[in-house]
């Protein structure tokens, strides 16, 4: 029987969730689910200086919103308080300091690690010299050979210290990465890594190795930036006499200039994209394809399908430029597929933010420009107008503005279709006006309006464009918009007639 698959996502709470991290979570999640394994969330807050208040809660909420469920680790309750669940916790590293201390002591006892009393200043100076000589900056091993007495004396004098890994000077360390295959590094090029900082906190290297072991992690799936430090981790596993997990490094997400995706060159936080109105499903689908392919020509995947299909062998080695063109397309696709009630709910904040409407009570909204009261059903109709052409939800504020604004501003030339004269425009609008005036409010449905107006055009022998274009512009004031029938149906008789009249007046 093979060992149970257990993977983890282990972010440090330094602010926001990075897109690259989101992909790492996704791949971990999919790998776990695909193999009927466990997926856990562990918080690596071993750097006090970089800790950002609230980032754990924020992170947990985003994972939840994205639908990436984990079974153990850190959760947030209704009062926005964190709590931990699982048999291997605590899952917040700052609460596990005694554990790391114990293992560091063991390492020192076994002579796989040593106290280093060098000051930061000395280290800096050392590195500077090494760089001047074009040497690789590395700890020079000054404290490596300190005698027991010397160490005792310095400890007794309360000299600040760190604990370093005693990396062998000879030989090689190698491992088989599931994606990058065999990686082999000469030990003499590996630095004596700090394991325990002078404040008693472990470094990432120590903490993650100890925790991955203690938490029975079977596969470490993380970003490629960790590839060079994996040999250090292997050395640590060896020193402890532990079995190493499988290591898998994921290719990086890149800026357009091919450097590691960074804040400097645009938005990198998942929240930023959520705010812009990208749907979680589209985001996941998009990011799935940045580094993984199903070996078929399929591109659209629900989370369930991803789980079914995902495997590490489909992950490639090259970094992928984070280019949102395809994301826009995908998002449009998901928007079009979405249930209109759900979509409308999601659009609401954007309509409010655009100062078009205001929520006055449950299911009651006020159009700010006209003071009219409307309900959710009405908003659904409005959103439906744009569902087909919307790429990001954030566009809704602008694209649907014409519905909520009483006085449209546009040039009268816009009313002209091809080579019509103003006279023709006026006549056709008048015809439409007369015809629509006859209708009852309840007959203002898309289908009925279409029928009535098409009949009219046939009777009068008017080219469709010559009537529908001016009408559409009169109703929307826009060069591009939904069609006149559906717009008219949403606006209702009174507004439609008013807008047509305004169009007529413009070309008089």
Partner RNA sequence: GGUCCCUUCGUCUAGUGGUUAGGACAUCAGGUUUUCAUCCUGAAAACAGGGGUUCAAUUCCCCUAGGGACUACCA
In terms of CB distance, is 324 or 374 closer to RNA?
324
List, in sequence order, the alpha helices (H) in 276-421. 280-288, 303-309, 325-337, 340-353, 376-387, 396-399, 401-404
Residues in 210-229 that interact with RNA by CB under 7 A: 224-229
In terms of CB distance, is 365 or 393 closer to RNA?
393
Token couple for 119 = 């000051």
Cα(158)–Cα(149) distance, integer angstroms: 14
* Coil, helix or strand at residue 132: helix
In terms of CB distance, is 263 or 295 closer to RNA?
295
Among the options 102, 263, 317, 364, which is catalytic? 263
Size of the site for RNA (CB under 7 A): 88
DSSP state of 133: T
Phi, psi of 234 (to 5 degrees): -60, -45
Annotate each residue in 148-167 with x if it binds RNA (CB under 7 A) or - if it does not, as one string: ------------x-x-----
Q: Does residue number 185 form part of the binding site for RNA (CB under 7 A)? A: yes
Q: Does residue number 95 form part of the binding site for RNA (CB under 7 A)? A: no
b/e burial code for range 300-338 (CB count within 10 A of at least 16 → b): ebebeebbebbebeebeeebbebebeebeebbbbbbeeb
Annotate each residue in 98-137 with x if it binds RNA (CB under 7 A) or - if it does not, as one string: --------------------xxx--x---x------xxxx
3-state DSSP of 197-233: CCCCCECHHHHHHHHHHHCCCCEEEEEHHHHHHHHHH
DSSP state of 248: E
263 is catalytic: yes
Q: Does residue number 328 form part of the binding site for RNA (CB under 7 A)? A: yes
Q: Does residue number 317 form part of the binding site for RNA (CB under 7 A)? A: yes
3-state DSSP of 369-401: CCCCEECHHHHHHHHHHHHCCCCCHHHHHHHCH
Among 61, 85, 144, 197, binds RNA (CB under 7 A): 197
Token couple for 404 = 């909520």
Annotate each residue in 289-308 with x if it binds RNA (CB under 7 A) or - if it does not, as one string: xxx-x-x-x-x---------
CB of 488 to RNA, least distance (A): 10
Among 109, 181, 243, 438, binds RNA (CB under 7 A): 181
In terms of CB distance, is 228 or 492 closer to RNA?
228
Which window, 147-155, 183-191, 263-271, 406-414, contacts RNA (CB under 7 A)?
183-191
Residues in 364-423 that interact with RNA by CB under 7 A: 388-389, 417
Which window, 70-78, 102-110, 184-192, 268-276, contacts RNA (CB under 7 A)?
184-192
Which residues on adjacent β-strands are paired with residue 39?
A: 7
Annotate each residue in 465-484 with x if it binds RNA (CB under 7 A) or - if it does not, as one string: x--xx--x-----xxxxxxx
Cα(377)–Cα(455) distance, integer angstroms: 30
CB of 485 to RNA, least distance (A): 6
- The residues annotated with a catalytic role in the active site are 263
């Amino acid at each position: 029987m093979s060992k149970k698959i257990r993977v983890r996502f282990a972010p440090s709470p330094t602010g926001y969730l990075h897109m690259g991290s989101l992909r790492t979570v996704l791949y971990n999640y999919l790998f776990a689910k695909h193999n009927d394994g466990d997926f856990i969330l562990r918080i690596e807050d071993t750097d006090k200086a970089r800790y950002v208040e609230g980032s754990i809660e924020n992170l947990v909420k985003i994972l939840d919103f994205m639908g990436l469920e984990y079974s153990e680790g850190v959760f947030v309750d209704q009062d926005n308080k964190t709590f931990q669940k699982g048999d291997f916790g605590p899952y917040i590293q700052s609460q596990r300091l005694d554990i790391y201390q114990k293992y560091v002591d063991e390492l020192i006892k076994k002579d796989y690690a040593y106290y280093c009393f060098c000051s930061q200043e000395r280290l800096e100076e050392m590195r500077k010299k090494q760089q001047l000589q074009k040497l690789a900056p590395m700890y020079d091993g000054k404290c490596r050979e300190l005698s027991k007495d010397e160490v005792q004396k310095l400890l007794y004098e309360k000299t600040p210290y760190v604990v370093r890994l005693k990396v062998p000077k000879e030989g090689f360390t190698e491992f088989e990465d599931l994606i990058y295959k065999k990686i082999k590094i000469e030990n003499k090029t590996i630095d004596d890594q700090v394991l325990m900082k002078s404040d008693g906190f472990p470094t990432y290297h120590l903490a993650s190795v100890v925790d991955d072991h203690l938490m029975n992690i079977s596969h470490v799936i993380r970003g490629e930036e960790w590839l060079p430090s994996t040999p250090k981790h292997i050395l640590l596993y060896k020193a402890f006499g532990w079995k190493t997990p499988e290591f898998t490094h994921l290719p990086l997400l890149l800026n357009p200039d091919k450097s590691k995706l960074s804040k400097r060159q645009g938005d990198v936080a998942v929240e930023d994209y959520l705010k812009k109105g990208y749907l979680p499903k589209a985001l996941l689908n998009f990011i799935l394809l940045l580094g993984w392919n199903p070996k078929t020509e399929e591109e659209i995947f629900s989370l369930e399908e991803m789980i079914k299909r995902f495997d590490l062998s489909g992950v490639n080695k090259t970094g992928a430029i984070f280019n949102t063109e395809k994301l826009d397309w995908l998002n449009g696709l998901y928007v079009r597929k979405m249930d209109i009630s759900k979509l409308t709910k999601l659009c609401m904040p954007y309509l409010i933010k655009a100062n078009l409407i205001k929520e006055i009570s449950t299911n009651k909204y006020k159009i700010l420009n006209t003071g009219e009261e409307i309900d959710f059903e009405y908003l659904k109709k409005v959103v439906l107008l744009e569902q087909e052409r919307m790429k990001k939800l954030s566009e809704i504020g602008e694209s649907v503005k014409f519905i909520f604004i009483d006085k449209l501003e546009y040039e009268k030339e816009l009313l002209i279709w091809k080579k019509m004269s103003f006279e023709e425009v006026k006549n056709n609008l008048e015809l439409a006006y007369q015809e629509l005036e006859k209708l009852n409010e309840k007959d203002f449905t898309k289908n009925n309006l279409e029928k009535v107006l098409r009949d009219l055009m046939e009777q009068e022998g008017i080219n469709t464009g010559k009537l529908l274009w001016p009408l559409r512009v009169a109703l929307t004031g826009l060069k591009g918009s939904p069609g006149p029938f559906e717009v008219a149906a949403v606006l209702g008789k009174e507004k439609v007639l008013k807008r047509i009249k305004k169009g007529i007046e413009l070309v008089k």
